[in-house]
Structure 1
Amino acid sequence: MTRFLLGRLAMLVTTLAVASVTIYGAMFLTSGDPATLLVGGGKPPAPAVVAAIHKQYHLDDPFFSRYWRWLTGALHGDFGMSLAYRADVSTLISTRIGDTLLLVGYSAVLIIVIGIVVGTVSALRGGLVDAVATGVSAAAMAVPTFVVGAVLAFVFGVKLGWFDASGDGGGGFGALIPSFTLPAIALALSWVGYVAQVTRAAVGAELRSEHVVTAEARGLPRPGLIRRHVMRNAAGPIFAISGVAVAGLIATTSVVEQTFGISGIGSLLIEASAKQDLATVQAVSLLMVAAFIVLNTVIDLVTAMLDPRIATGRTL
């Protein structure tokens, strides 16, 4: 287990290092002077402006010298200045990250609760319940997130008026929850299907396992058998897919935030990309990639603790 832990931590550090170099170096793969991207806008900047940008961002220094200065600043919370927004990038992120965290957290609760309940009931009940649950789960996985978001906003927000389709309720936490319901459902729906399917398969496999069948034949009470043996042994794959689902929310939050007009860091990334605000794009991309990598590493470690055979490589 110690070797597995050290290996995952080493992989975490290596992946983060490679990701940071890729994110920072992407702007130097474009043709022309990177200073023009930092300025943004349609018109070429004046030579004096270009010279000032070169000096401010040390663009005439060697690449790894510039990268190290940017990375050490980022580790201290200093992502530089946004020339498009005329504000500190860290301030832009701090004012928007709360909405993204609320949206991702709300969606994560929906994924874990609904996905596990549907998958477990489907495996335990079988028959028509299983067929319906499987069909609905497959349909949920097949529909793109942006389509789900548009349909939910139009039907339940515009036509029926049950929810705030703007995703900006205001008035504190109590008002934010109803206004974030449609965005959270749109973000979570496809992952609910994945979690339900994996849960169904894991619980079904445990129900058919030899020790469970034998215990049931001996007359052990079914509720206790399911709780202590079936669900406990199935917890590994269920936790793994649930964790992957929560990490995957980071990649799709931009789409939902744009659809519902949520001022999170996902929408900030899209807006900054459109304005060629490279400092903001780099900062938000680094945060999203780092969050995704760290979450996946935590998932691997917890899954290995739930099933130590994974750490020894004896089973998947």
Structure 2
Amino acid sequence: MKLGWFPTIGNGTGVLDRLHHVVLPAIALSVTFMAMVTRVTRSSMLEELGREHVEVAVSRGTPRWTVIRRHVLRNALGPIVTVSALLVSGMLVSTSIVETAFGMSGVGSLLVTSVNQMDFQVVQAIVLLVVAAFVVVNFLVDLVHPLIDPRVAAAGSAR
């Protein structure tokens, strides 16, 4: 902020100016969520690195990058995708704080304004939008999960 590289308040006008205005809010939204995804990725990768099939692949002389890509990352993607999808849905709620802090107009600031003015119909509509986003994102994760991990599809067909 002190350097003056990016504006701290407002939406801007025109495409390039709007992109210039959205840099700081995007960073503010993403830093928290990146920390959570990084933490889940690290724990999932460490868990998969300790598996027996990874040790066998390493002992057979398979290059480290190939082992990580084929054996470790592919098996670790399940929890990473699930947490990422939930965080993307939760980002809709977090926008109200960021939009208010940066003086931007959007769904988040509309929610805050509606709560302050006790406009319950608008609050209900925004809450319905957030809930619908959670449902859609969870549905998409459920569709993608068997493509990422075939064991999930095999376990579901055994019932």
Range into which the TM-score falls when normalised by the shorter chain: 0.7 to 0.9
CA-atom RMSD, angstroms? 1.9
Unpaired runs of 5+ residues, structure 2, are none
Q: State whether residues 187 and 253 of structure 1, in contact with CA within 8 Å, keep that contact through their aligned partners in structure 2.
A: yes
Q: State whether residues 166 and 262 of structure 1, in contact with CA within 8 Å, keep that contact through their aligned partners in structure 2.
A: yes
Shift of 1:161: 0.9
Aligned counterparts of 1:167 and 1:191: Cα–Cα separation in 2: 23
Question: Which amino acid letter does the alignment assign opposite residue 31 of structure 2?
Answer: L
Aligned counterparts of 1:198 and 1:310: Cα–Cα separation in 2: 19
Q: State whether residues 183 and 257 of structure 1, in contact with CA within 8 Å, keep that contact through their aligned partners in structure 2.
A: yes
Aligned counterparts of 1:280 and 1:197: Cα–Cα separation in 2: 36
Q: Residue in 2 aligned with 1:272?
A: 114
Shift of 1:301: 2.8
Question: Which amino acid letter does the alignment assign opposite residue 236 of structure 1?
Answer: G
Q: Which has the higher contact order (CA 8 A, sep 6+)?
A: 1
Shift of 1:246: 0.7
The 5 A counterparts of 1:21-100 are none
Q: Residue in 1 aligned with 2:4?
A: 161
Structure 1 residue 224 corresponds to structure 2 residue 61: no
Aligned counterparts of 1:256 and 1:202: Cα–Cα separation in 2: 30
Unpaired runs of 5+ residues, structure 1, are 1-155
Aligned counterparts of 2:149 and 2:118: Cα–Cα separation in 1: 46
The 5 A counterparts of 1:107-126 are none
Aligned counterparts of 1:215 and 1:287: Cα–Cα separation in 2: 47
The 5 A counterparts of 1:140-219 are 156=1, 159-172=2-15, 174-219=16-61
Q: Residue in 2 aligned with 1:120?
A: none
Question: Which amino acid letter does the alignment assign opposite residue 168 of structure 1?
Answer: N
Structure 1 residue 288 corresponds to structure 2 residue 101: no
The aligned length equals: 156
Structure 1 residue 235 corresponds to structure 2 residue 77: yes
Q: State whether residues 253 and 266 of structure 1, in contact with CA within 8 Å, keep that contact through their aligned partners in structure 2.
A: yes
Shift of 1:308: 4.1
Q: State whether residues 258 and 267 of structure 1, in contact with CA within 8 Å, keep that contact through their aligned partners in structure 2.
A: yes
**Deviation string for 1:197-218 (max 9, x for gaps)?**
1101111122221111111111
Shift of 1:175: 2.2
Shift of 1:296: 2.0
**Given the alignment, which residue of 131, 134, 143 partners 1:301?**
143
Aligned counterparts of 2:111 and 2:49: Cα–Cα separation in 1: 46
Determine what percentage of the aligned residue pairs are the same residue.
48
Aligned counterparts of 1:306 and 1:235: Cα–Cα separation in 2: 7
* Larger-gyration structure (1/2): 1
Aligned counterparts of 2:56 and 2:69: Cα–Cα separation in 1: 16
> TM-score, normalized by length of structure 2?
0.88
